Amino acid sequence: MSTVWIPGAERLGDGSIGGAMDKPNSPARVVWHTTESGHGDAAFDSVGRYLREIAAEPHILYDPVTDRLGQFGPLNESARALKNDGSTRTNRVGKVCIQIEVLARAATPFTEYWKPGKNFKALMAAIRSWGIPDDFPMGTPAKTASASKRNRTTWLSEGGHYGHCNVPGNDHWDPGAISTSALFSAAKGSSGSSGSSSTTYTVKAGDTLAGIGEKTGVAWKTIASLNGLKSPYTILPGDKLKLKGSAPKPSVPAFPGTGYFRTGASNKYVTMLGEQLVKEGYGSFYKVGPGPTWTAVDRAAVKAFQRAHKELAGDADGYPGPLTWKMLFG
């Protein structure tokens, strides 16, 4: 059953923050924000009051250091934390559009220093109860405002997790380059998939992958991946499609060795590295390219990626080693 009020979360305000969703047949999603403030109880109370005073409440307020969790309104109604995208009321897109304000600053990703506990696990359990997959359809949230991705088609059609930096019609770049892997691994358990109790869907006449995605709340790309479908994605009435379980991860290409990433080096692996960095949200470093020749730009992008992941930050020299390579392509 989908969670409306998270067990253990403090009630903030009177619970009336929004209304019915405009696109309840669209996949469910989450939007991560940062309050651009400090953390701690004083900040929690002050920010909570301020959001109510200006009528800009999200659903959730979370302190990543104390694990304090508050809820302004029911998850099955809209929040008020997003600007509209023209005539599209972005707060009301999806079966649910769960919005979370984290007491943190975008410039210092909270996954670098946070201490998630039982309340964070309860939050993630509630998110997953709506069939929301452990996936960021637009990739890792941007490290800078200029690198923000706001693809309107993706936003309207795919369920999953988004940063405020990904929502069309909005100009903020929060939550910063948080570690998406850390976000999901901190709340171990099955990732979201279908909001239905069934693990399969029987294809009916006239069904398309996109249509099945809208009905079940599972991104059509996830359905294709789970079932081993490849373009042109042929499905026939009577086919049974898997909706639950983790989509198989693409295999990580073998690390070629550190010698391929040194001054003057020119090879296909440098291009592969650069293209993957762009996919992960570090494209702002490249004015031209990426290309096969190793440059200071590639090193700067790698260094930024390393700094954004606590497992790599202690040795963020900008040169990829086996662990950097695995985390970037994994």
**CATH number of the domain bearing residue 130:** 3.40.80.10
Q: Judge if pTM exceeds 0.75.
A: no
Measured CA to CA, the distance from residue 285 to residue 305 in angstroms comes to 11
> Are residues 107 and 20 part of one domain?
yes
Mean pLDDT by runs of 10 across the 330 residues of the chain is 90 94 93 97 97 97 97 97 97 97 97 94 94 90 92 92 97 94 79 46 81 72 83 82 60 87 92 87 81 93 88 87 88
Q: Which domain holds residue 302?
A: 258-329
> Are residues 177 and 88 part of one domain?
yes
> Are residues 271 and 156 part of one domain?
no
> Are residues 232 and 208 part of one domain?
yes
Measured CA to CA, the distance from residue 60 to residue 51 in angstroms comes to 11
> Are residues 238 and 163 part of one domain?
no
> Are residues 157 and 56 part of one domain?
yes
> What is the domain-level CATH number for residue 219?
3.10.350.10
Q: How far is CA 90 from CA 28, 30, 106, 167, in A?
A: 13, 12, 21, 8
User: What integer pLDDT is reported at residue 194 of this predicted model?
Assistant: 37
- 190 within some domain: no
Measured CA to CA, the distance from residue 215 to residue 25 in angstroms comes to 6
Measured CA to CA, the distance from residue 123 to residue 255 in angstroms comes to 36
- 73 within some domain: yes
> Are residues 169 and 65 part of one domain?
yes
- 295 within some domain: yes
Q: How far is CA 235 from CA 72, 119, 157, 208, in A?
A: 42, 41, 20, 8
Residue 57's nearest CA partner among 23, 94, 18 is: 18
DSSP readout, 60-103?
EEE-TTT--EEE-S-TTS--S-S--BTTB-GGGBSS-EEEEEES
- 117 within some domain: yes
- 235 within some domain: yes
- 31 within some domain: yes
**Token code pair at residue 238:** 């009577």
Residue 15 dihedral angles phi and psi, to the nearest 5°: 85, 0
- 3 within some domain: no
- 213 within some domain: yes
Task: Report how many domains make up the chain.
Answer: 3
**Token code pair at residue 46:** 């002050």
Ramachandran area for residue 212 (φ above 0: left; ψ -120 to 50: alpha; else beta):
alpha
> Are residues 160 and 78 part of one domain?
yes
> Which amino acid, residue 305?
F
> Are residues 181 and 299 part of one domain?
no
Place of tokens 């409440």: 57
- 142 in Cβ contact with 177 (< 8 Å): yes
> Which amino acid, residue 48?
G
